[in-house]
Structure 1
């Protein structure tokens, strides 16, 4: 099987993923080194993640975050427990995860690269024009074939326009949205490990990024160089039962209500 066909088969298999348990490691702009583990369900879209990062606004604190029924819940390890009036969780609505640049909303609690759906991200290599086979390796005890290629936004658009069927076109549309959301500057180098069952076992994304500053009356918006991205996602369990539930209501404070109280204080 050619590398192009193998990568396409893995992307098609990803379209049948309904639930996923996965691990994220690497270096993410503005957050430094991070380790995260998460479980997600695709219909409805829900996610539960625990993350540690060396930098970012939490400076190494543990973050637990959930997205359920259009709301986001964050554990008070990263919130002011005094303001939460003893509650363990903070609720914010709307909270959106796993979509694209315009729809995702984690209120800045997650790196934008982790706001994306890893199932969609894993299929980005189908837009590469130079995908090649690197060799055979073992991922968590399972043999896998390693592929590598480069991807650009122009390439994703071209793949979208040349898609052979509706499913492939929708994958490229989703890929383009998440490519934009990650603020990649130019070319993405992507590695993909595919098992004998034609399913993705792991993928790695490396790229320069861009950032922005300003955007106020005193300082016009300026696009600047960002920090490099080097992120690896490992699929641990696929299509196994996943339950992501909202925390108990009596242990949850609502961000909107807290804001109203502060506004009238």
Structure 2
């Protein structure tokens, strides 16, 4: 099968995956905001309802650092966020803050965590690489003990972002730091699903280097909202 067909089938198959775990490391430099690194893991399930549990061990992006990392649990249309920096900023008294998704635009810290959820998303990331016109197989390699085929290529960001749902495109552009072309490597196992994805690119002083490992496809994951007595609301007017 042609390498481009493998990618297109992988994108279709990832859309059908109901759960997985991803470990990721993302390092970036930005001409204005300096350099940073995000490291963490995410549990994902699409059924019976969309739920995500994201843990950021470290999240330092130039002026937007999250000292002490962050944790976010998304269930349906509500996200629960535990960010020390945000709690200090808004004077929250509970460790977790509950925010309806419709109010997300108000808070930089909340938006930063949401951007990470999108960057760790298997479906989004696999769709991006289908925009490649030059992908080719570069051999067989083992990833975490599983046999995979390694594919390598590049994709133009503006075309790749158009593969995503309309409401995800702007955030993806920001996540890719307005890079022009991105080089990627993807390792696909015999079941047609990716086990590893690496992206790197640069433009006018900005760079992106991301590595994601995927596992636990369609295995049960436990994603639970934090206990109610640990959850407070995001105080109004204190969200920037």
Length-normalised TM-score, structure 2 = 0.79
More displaced stretch, 236-245 vs 116-125: 116-125
Shift in alpha-carbon separation, 1:227–1:53, aligned structure 2, 3 A: farther
- Residue 157 of structure 2 contacts residue 179 of structure 2 at CA under 8 Å; is this kept in 1? no
Instruction: Name the SS of the counterpart of 2:110 in structure 1.
Output: coil
Pick aligned residue for 2:231 from 242, 252, 263: 252
Other-structure match for 2:44: 40
Other-structure match for 2:185: 191
Other-structure match for 1:122: 126
Cα deviation, 1:34-85, whole Å, max 9, x if unaligned, reads 3211101124322111112362334552211111232221225342299222
CA RMSD after TM alignment: 3.0
CA distance in 1, matches of 2:195, 2:103: 26
Across the two proteins, how many residue pairs are aligned to each other?
Answer: 224
* Structure 1 residue 72 corresponds to structure 2 residue 65: no
Shift in alpha-carbon separation, 1:53–1:38, aligned structure 2, 3 A: same
Query: Which structure is larger by alpha-carbon Rg, 1 or 2?
Result: 1
- Residue 28 of structure 1 contacts residue 113 of structure 1 at CA under 8 Å; is this kept in 2? no
Whichever structure has more strand as a proportion of its residues is 2
* Structure 1 residue 53 corresponds to structure 2 residue 44: no
Q: Provide structure 1 residue ranges, at least 5 long, that are not aligned to the other structure.
A: 161-171, 210-224
CA distance in 2, matches of 1:180, 1:76: 24
- Residue 39 of structure 2 contacts residue 59 of structure 2 at CA under 8 Å; is this kept in 1? no
Other-structure match for 1:229: 208
Cα deviation, 1:102-137, whole Å, max 9, x if unaligned, reads 9xx962342735434222212322211100111111
Q: Provide structure 2 residue ranges, at least 5 long, that are not aligned to the other structure.
A: none
Pick aligned residue for 2:173 from 171, 176, 180: 180
Shift in alpha-carbon separation, 1:226–1:51, aligned structure 2, 3 A: farther
- Residue 200 of structure 2 contacts residue 208 of structure 2 at CA under 8 Å; is this kept in 1? yes
Length-normalised TM-score, structure 1 = 0.72
Instruction: Name the SS of the counterpart of 1:250 in structure 2.
Output: helix
